[in-house]
Structure 1
């Protein structure tokens, strides 16, 4: 029975870095994710004047409730969406001029709902080229707070950024949300804020955040549930195989652990315990229709195993996946068609017909997206000859993915 050690959650690590930087005192983060995204976030904090001490198993951050210690900084956010959205928001609470830029991939991803809300709160923020995209400059003078309206229909990260900012404002925030995807990620944010001493509340469509700041703490990062989905899916498509992920079970903050409920509906055996989660393949994989609005990062994982189901797999309400690292709906459809699978897509849905992919595999077009690589690695358990045009893009969240997946494949009795 393979037991898979999954790296720390990217979502939790990014939020914890913001909270630690904003808190009063020194925070220790235990088992944070070390990847291109999180290293980029930590590097951005250093550029803003925060002290970040990093060892293999823990990071320490000296918090500054008053904001960055430097009055000017130029921050490169790499490919990281959390870095590109959270750090300008953090900087707005300080005093100085801060410029942010990002990779070509991240420059294409939208920011406007967040930057519009920050402007409505009085932040002097200017996009240098395309409106609503990086690069941008924040001329910070603190944030008064008050009421603001936000459209979080493209990304819950916009709401998370404002929630995290709230305690650093002078009056606190009342955020009225007109649309919202990926609600579990917002719940993660609120739960983590509570661990740092702030009780944010939801009143219908309004999120209320009090002023007063954060307190430093020691915070342990749980394994990444989105990353775990590939290993759980590997068990589900392999009859008799069993995969256990320790440290990710009942009480986990991450909504993406709900992916195992999808696998259960398809016929896999699933056990979620306080100390971990186990998925066992039964040789049955049923088709289904599923709304993945709240766990959309696992949509590619399901798409990649859908051809092996005994009926169509229809995934709905995932329009926001079109504005991730790539258009994930079309990327999944394109690659499945290349493998001979019949696929239909709509604005926010994908339907995949059953049928074992024909031929000897194909080179998967990754569009530089780590989740496309990791998802189609699972397809490769059943289809020989799958390769990737950019296998190294997994460094964004899991630099050791290929080695870990090869070890899993061997443990499942497949040495291809």
Structure 2
């Protein structure tokens, strides 16, 4: 059995950086993710006037409950969706003029529901190009708070940004959500906010909507350990399920893990893999069987490409449903998965929110069109275990979340 040390969670690291910046006192983050996304978030905080000291295995952030330390700043969000969505919300709690921009890839990704909500709460926002997209200027005078309705059916990050902002408002915040995708990510947010002293309640409305009420408590600094990234672990779990006789254990992703993407191991169990989760970690072991299935991945859609890349090796069709939001990620992931599977000679059908992959031995050699998306590269690295000759047109885009992925995955491959 191989034990894999997975880097810290991207989602947890981003939330922890926001919370630490907003807290009273100095927070220490243990084992934060070091990647382009998290480094970009940290640099964004520095640009706003927060003190961030980075050591190899710990980052120290001096919180500023009153908001950014500067009254004017330019922040470049790189490719990071959490940076591009969370930092404007953090800046809105302060006082000043803050300009945000991002990479061409991030400029294409929508912000509209979030910026509309921030404007309703009293922030002045101006889009520099297309409405609802970066570049964005936030003119902040603090946030009083109040009640609003939000459609988070496109991205749960809109809701997370507002929830994170809630304790910094003068009167608290009540967000009624009419649609929500990737709900487990919101549960991560709520658990982490409580770790920093926030008070949140959730009520179900008669019309089926849900209201999150956040008290204006502020945050308290703490010492916070970042758990391994469950989405990144999915590639190693899938590889173990694929290879007869293989087994992999990821410590730190056990029964108490925050991340919903660990539920991907349940999908592997349904396909025939042996899965064991304890308080210490999770082990996936191949049984030599991979069954086809139909699965709704609305709540774990970041692992949709992992399953799509594994699917040709199942003994029946694999149909993945309710993943329309993957079309507005770093790329249109549904389309990217379909295109690359077809390049490998695999039969694929797609619809607005689904993809169905029929079994068939992928044919190499072939170059995977990554579209600059780290998850396309890491997913098709699983396919490459059984398909000689696969290459990637942009293998380096894994720096977004796991700069050492290729070395780590190759070392794992040699143990199989």
Q: Which residue of 1 aligns with 2:164?
A: 164
Which of 274, 284, 287 aligns to 1:282? It is 287
Q: Which residue of 2 aligns with 1:382?
A: 386
Q: Which residue of 1 aligns with 2:59?
A: 59
- 2:38 counterpart SS class: helix
The whole-number CA distance in structure 2 between the counterparts of 1:389 and 1:332 is 14
- 2:6 counterpart SS class: coil
The whole-number CA distance in structure 2 between the counterparts of 1:212 and 1:95 is 19
Structure 1 segment 239-318 matched on structure 2, within 5 A: 239-318=244-323
Q: Which residue of 1 aligns with 2:82?
A: 82
Deviations 1:372-403 (A, max 9, x none): 00000000001110000000000000000000
The whole-number CA distance in structure 1 between the counterparts of 2:389 and 2:23 is 50
Q: Does the 8 A contact of 2:197 with 2:217 survive in 1?
A: no
The whole-number CA distance in structure 2 between the counterparts of 1:199 and 1:208 is 8
The whole-number CA distance in structure 1 between the counterparts of 2:82 and 2:24 is 22
TM-score w.r.t. the length of structure 1 is 0.98
**Runs of 4+ off more than 3 Å:** none
Q: Which residue of 2 aligns with 1:24?
A: 24
Q: Does the 8 A contact of 2:25 with 2:63 survive in 1?
A: yes
C-alpha displacement at 1:11, in angstroms? 0.1
The whole-number CA distance in structure 2 between the counterparts of 1:350 and 1:51 is 45
C-alpha displacement at 1:282, in angstroms? 1.0
The whole-number CA distance in structure 2 between the counterparts of 1:271 and 1:210 is 39
Q: Which residue of 2 aligns with 1:238?
A: 243
Ranges in structure 1 where 5+ consecutive residues have no aligned partner? none
C-alpha displacement at 1:181, in angstroms? 0.2
Q: Which residue of 1 aligns with 2:225?
A: 220
Aligned alpha-carbon RMSD (Å) = 0.5
The whole-number CA distance in structure 1 between the counterparts of 2:170 and 2:257 is 33
The whole-number CA distance in structure 2 between the counterparts of 1:278 and 1:211 is 41
1:143 and 2:143 matched: yes
The whole-number CA distance in structure 1 between the counterparts of 2:123 and 2:403 is 36
C-alpha displacement at 1:201, in angstroms? 1.5
Structure 1 segment 43-58 matched on structure 2, within 5 A: 43-58=43-58
- 2:325 counterpart SS class: helix
1:397 and 2:374 matched: no
Structure 1 segment 151-230 matched on structure 2, within 5 A: 151-204=151-204, 205-230=210-235
- 2:414 counterpart SS class: helix
TM-score w.r.t. the length of structure 2 is 0.98
Q: Which residue of 1 aligns with 2:11?
A: 11
The whole-number CA distance in structure 2 between the counterparts of 1:362 and 1:87 is 39
Q: Which residue of 1 aligns with 2:327?
A: 322
When the two structures are aligned, how many residues end up with a matched partner? Answer: 411
Deviations 1:104-140 (A, max 9, x none): 0000000000001111111101101100000010000
Deviations 1:186-245 (A, max 9, x none): 000000000000121111210110002000000000000000000000000001100110
C-alpha displacement at 1:66, in angstroms? 0.0
1:99 and 2:103 matched: no
Deviations 1:54-99 (A, max 9, x none): 0000000000000001110000000000000000000000000000
Q: Does the 8 A contact of 2:53 with 2:61 survive in 1?
A: yes
C-alpha displacement at 1:297, in angstroms? 0.2
1:346 and 2:354 matched: no
The whole-number CA distance in structure 2 between the counterparts of 1:382 and 1:63 is 49
The whole-number CA distance in structure 1 between the counterparts of 2:251 and 2:123 is 43
